[in-house]
Structure 1
């Protein structure tokens, strides 16, 4: 799929402007590394790297800049219990007058049993061996279709309309 086409499909979930800044502290409370993704002005995800478990990432961002988080295996993570985190304005200030960093907690959602099992099988079984598993063909197809951030963003957008 061409990049322009992707941008049109997910354009409603994108950064709008850089008018009002805020300071965010993303704190990874999940048991896995969290990939931080900022959604740019076209709606394309831009990686800001990994946050190891029990570590944090201080970020200067803007109120209209959405963020999403994924585990290294592509599984969804939540930011303050949301699929997509929209930064809030800093309302407290340090003694020197600078805004305090707002804490945003990255956590693991409750996955469906099927999603959890697919993640586990992907971790334990080589992709070339999926065909030899004694499971239904529909599950083998699901195994061969790993999580896709762009597809999930399109789904989120369609649910917002």
Structure 2
């Protein structure tokens, strides 16, 4: 399913919709709690990652924060959606090609735990470069000294503001 409304600046409880197979919008939410699954989410990125669960109303609820190489064991249900975001930027990360992950029903023993790797979404070269520039400057005034085209300069400034904005983040203490 395709995802709509990916603007993560709407807050932790912002609702999210997917496009179903018939083109309709479907609220991303937990549906039922009948098929138990046991998962391990492993952060294979080089950045801290927040793990989020969507409740039965579709609200995003913080679950855990993983440093690079850390993992988290979760007992959940097959219809419960999980999301993964960069702690600093809010960028959505994936499991496989899925930005919203629902664990498949296990074919093995019900208590068999499966590992799922959290990875960076495929980015365009432009987005990768913008992120690197935004992370390398300490304030908005420095962007003007880079002699970037106006559109790129504005995009870098906007990304810096997102990164530096006070958020209700759930960062682990060092």
TM > 0.5 fold call:
yes
Aligned to 1:22: 37
Higher helix share: 1
Q: Secondary structure at the match of 1:102?
A: strand
How many Å separate the matches in 2 of 1:39 and 1:144?
A: 31
How many Å separate the matches in 1 of 2:35 and 2:90?
A: 31
Aligned to 2:21: none
How many Å separate the matches in 1 of 2:14 and 2:65?
A: 24
Aligned to 2:53: 38
Identify the match of residue 118 of structure 1 among 114, 130, 133.
130
Dislocated runs of 4+, deviation >4 Å: none
Aligned partners of 2:43 and 2:69 also within 8 Å: yes
Structure 1 runs not aligned, ≥5 long: 149-161
Aligned pair in 2 of structure 1 residues 27, 139: CA closer, same or farther (>3 Å)?
Answer: same
Measured after TM superposition, the shift of residue 70 of structure 1 is: 1.5
Structure 2 runs not aligned, ≥5 long: 1-8, 18-25, 164-174
Aligned partners of 1:81 and 1:107 also within 8 Å: no
Q: Secondary structure at the match of 2:27?
A: coil
Measured after TM superposition, the shift of residue 91 of structure 1 is: 2.3
How many Å separate the matches in 1 of 2:43 and 2:49?
A: 7
**TM-score relative to the length of structure 2:** 0.69
Write out per-residue CA displacement over residues 22-81 of structure 1, whole angstroms, 9 at most, x where no aligned residue. Answer: 111101112222211112223222111211211210011111111111122222321133
